Structure 1
Amino acid sequence: MVDDVNGAVRNSPPRMVVGISGASGAIYGARVLDALNDLGVESHLVVTKAALLTLSQETDLTADGLSAKATATHRLADVGASIASGSFRTLGMIVAPCSVRTMSEIATGVTSSLLTRAADVTLKERRPLVLMVRETPLHLGHLRTMTALAEMGAVIAPPLPALYARPASIQEMVDQSVGRALDLFGLDWSAVRRWDGLK
């Protein structure tokens, strides 16, 4: 088979790595997995322990229910997993949500888990890395870390509501943010409400 320029293998489903860290907003990661299923993209999930705690507090999903949404789930400590290697071709990686701790670890390149190792691999292979950072307010250290990541090639994409879309529910707000993040990988999810000018 011949590799395409986006890192997938032709005649095979495209792949994406999905990380979920412990910031508030575990639903973003769950909806990323739903979107990738809708789009026919193979998803490789890695979740932190703090993320599982947040998931239990903020949603009705269990860890098993979350894993069932993914094509493959990798253990956080399994640094020998496929997604830890640059030879495992993917469209890139999204961390949704991304905690400040996770963001900071990625920025240093000193990775201690499979999630941050996979993000580091994504950067070194020059693939898209999208971090849906969930923190406010931001102090100068946070902003400097974001600047460093942007200089390395990551995209900082905080999940902010697009009020022009007139969301009628939390899920619509979540889906708009998720869909716009997936736009950065060239993926067009039908849940996104796109601006087409003033009427």
Structure 2
Amino acid sequence: MTLPPPRLIVGLSGASGTIYGIRILEMLRRIGVESHLVMSRAAEITLGYESELTADQVRALATYAHPVDNIAAPPASGSFRTLGMIVAPCSIRTMSEIASGVTTSLLTRAADVTLKERRRLVLMVRETPLHAGHLRTMLNLTEMGAVIAPPVPGFYARPQSLDDLVEHTAGRALDLFGLDCGTLRRWGEPNGE
């Protein structure tokens, strides 16, 4: 049996923080992991506010980019083998839709499939402050097998720039899939503190 190359589904929703998804796509390309991008329409709008990149330029960073309304795309099926999925950034709306299991797009369908297949689903939820409903939804998702990983910087790495913060946070998120991009300063290791 021939195994497919390692592949990861990357979702970008409309929350602020599109740079995390962009950086993750760049990192996956650097380490040779096949990426399957699904970007919501709201993510494209947010991207226009936060980046000089166009949606087409972000799609070009991925190995494959799937239209958000194409529910027949490979990530919609459990038979499409992946390491899992990361949603970076993950809006509260996207998180809530995933938690309910009532999906309306390829982005949330792929996340639902990831959960049902017992694969790793990492949600970089980008919202603050959080009310009790948000926290209950996060707990429900955690109990379903998802990993809630808000993009919180690690200052022990002594970042010198915003880019350093993004790189570290994106690298830590990819660690959750066993993917090492070789760029992290790790606590207690020679390049760390």
Residue 187 of structure 1 corresponds to which residue in structure 2?
Answer: 179
Partners of 2:182 and 2:58 lie apart in 1 by 22
- TM-superposition CA deviations, 1:117-159 (whole Å, max 9, x none): 0000000000000000000000000000000000000000000
Alignment of 1:1-199 (within 5 A): 1-2=1-2, 9=3, 12-196=4-188
Q: Which runs of 5+ in 2 are unaligned?
A: none
Letter in 2 for 1:37: R
Partners of 1:76 and 1:13 lie apart in 2 by 23
Partners of 1:152 and 1:189 lie apart in 2 by 28
Partners of 2:141 and 2:44 lie apart in 1 by 25
Letter in 1 for 2:52: D
Partners of 1:158 and 1:95 lie apart in 2 by 11
Partner SS state of residue 69, structure 2: coil
Partners of 1:192 and 1:30 lie apart in 2 by 17
Q: CA deviation at 1:33?
A: 0.2
Partner SS state of residue 22, structure 1: coil
Q: CA deviation at 1:189?
A: 1.1
Count of aligned pairs: 191
Partners of 1:189 and 1:131 lie apart in 2 by 19
Partners of 1:191 and 1:61 lie apart in 2 by 23
Partners of 2:101 and 2:119 lie apart in 1 by 16
Residue 5 of structure 1 corresponds to which residue in structure 2?
Answer: none
Partners of 2:163 and 2:5 lie apart in 1 by 27
Q: Which runs of 5+ in 1 are unaligned?
A: 3-8
Q: CA RMSD in A?
A: 1.1
Partner SS state of residue 44, structure 1: strand
Q: CA deviation at 1:190?
A: 1.5
Letter in 2 for 1:28: Y
Letter in 1 for 2:134: H
Partner SS state of residue 57, structure 2: helix
